[in-house]
Structure 1
Amino acid sequence: MRLRLDAGDITQLYVDAIVNAAKKSLLGGGGVDGAIHRAAGPELLEECKTLGGCETGEAKITKGYDLPAKHVIHTVGPVWHGGDENEAELLASCYMNSLQLAEQQGLRSIAFPCISTGVYGYPKQQAAAIAVSVCKMFTSNAQSLKEIIFSCYDDESLAIYRQLLTDS
């Protein structure tokens, strides 16, 4: 199992699945969510309409359509409220449920954005620590997954993930 970093646009990655930091409706939005919907094309929205939304911490899968990725795994991250409303557990669930869904589908590679660190306000250092911890824990039981990519859109996030991956 390989954990690696990517600096750039998650919508350009050739992987089995990219993870979408989605809104509960799964009908698109801003940030990563909007970029994925734009890059995938209108068919993604049509499939998402059939899924009935998604609760915080859960994950659902669709086809990738016009993306280089074969699939999109949609997960809803928590909004940061100071850390006293189960945000850490919910964020960990986003990663774990996405990884488990990828395994159930027999996928070999998955790329994660920095879930909840944009408009949802989750502190980047804390969110990255959860992401790396959950993914490392998952690697010991992974069957099909061979590569987990942390796709960082900004230099600050990239530096945080680089340090976390180097320290472990």
Structure 2
Amino acid sequence: MTNITLALGDITEQRVDAIVNAANSSLLGGGGVDGAIHRRGGPDILDECRDLRASRYGKGLPAGRAVATTAGRLPARWVIHTVGPVFSTTEDRSATLASCYSESLRIADELGARTVALPAVSTGVYRWPLDSAARIALTAVRDMGTSVTEARFVLFDQRAYDAFETALNELPPA
């Protein structure tokens, strides 16, 4: 059973087996969590992402999918990149957001990662409302059959932490 924990802070400082990156489909870095991971992790991450673009993901990584690279200079072994959906008021993309988490944990299992740090995918520039994103993320992680022993949601600010804490406390039993 996976222990779900919450932390307020910088995901790039987490000492875990794998850090999940809220990447954009290009895999070539960007803003927010993605930019922070690439800056702190160094050029090795970008080099592997370029190799992935040149081979399997020529058109980019689709939303809801995940792929792993080295963690470079981060205090983790791997970075698992996942692309969240852009929030829409006219189309329900909840399943795609949930897939970001289940696919990330599936990749973590393939790698043998037991501790994973996760961000609040799609809640930045992709504008997913925090309360909804927290419920979807926590439910997806709780319901995923995985060998990961700790799924640590690392929230950048108090507002995000509070939303995830509320959602975790309101999560119905599996």
Q: What TM-score does the superposition give when structure 1 sets the normalisation length?
A: 0.94
- Number of the residue aligned with 1:126: 132
Query: 2:121 pairs with 105, 109, 115, which one?
Result: 115
1:43 Cα deviation (Å)?
1.2
SS at match of 1:149: strand
Deviating above 3 A after TM superposition, structure 1's stretches of 4 or more consecutive aligned residues are: none
Give the letter for the 1:73 counterpart.
I
String of CA shifts for 1:61-101, please: whole Å, max 9, x gaps. Answer: 0010100011000000001121x334101101101100111
**Deviations 1:120-161 (CA, angstroms, capped at 9, x unpaired):** 0011110110000011111xx32x310000110011110111
Q: Which residue of 2 aligns with 1:56?
A: 63
- 1:21 matched residue in structure 2: 22
- Asked if 1:69 is matched to 2:72, the reply is no
Which residue does the alignment assign to 1:137? 143
CA distance in 1, matches of 2:166, 2:128: 18
Q: How far apart, CA to CA, are the structure 1 residues paired with 2:82 and 2:123?
A: 14
In the TM superposition, what is the alpha-carbon distance from 1:21 to its structure 2 partner? 0.4
2:151 equivalent among 148, 153, 159: 148
Question: Is 1:91 the counterpart of 2:91 in the alignment?
Answer: no
Percentage of matched positions with identical amino acids: 46
Name the CA distance, whole Å, in 2 between partners of 1:77 and 1:9. 19
2:84, 2:75 → 1: CA distance?
24
**How many residues align structurally?**
164
Q: Which runs of 5+ in 2 are unaligned?
A: 54-59
Among candidates 63, 86, 111, match of residue 79 of structure 1: 86
Structure 1 CA distance, aligned partners of 2:22 and 2:167? 21
Q: Who is 1:103 aligned against?
A: 109
Instruction: Output the TM-score relative to the length of structure 2.
Output: 0.91
8 Å CA contact 2:118–2:154 kept in 1: the answer is: yes
Structure 1 unaligned residues grouped into runs of 5+? none
Aligned to 2:57: none
Q: Please report the RMSD computed on the Cα atoms of aligned residues, expressed in angstroms.
A: 1.0
Q: Which residue of 2 aligns with 1:162?
A: 165
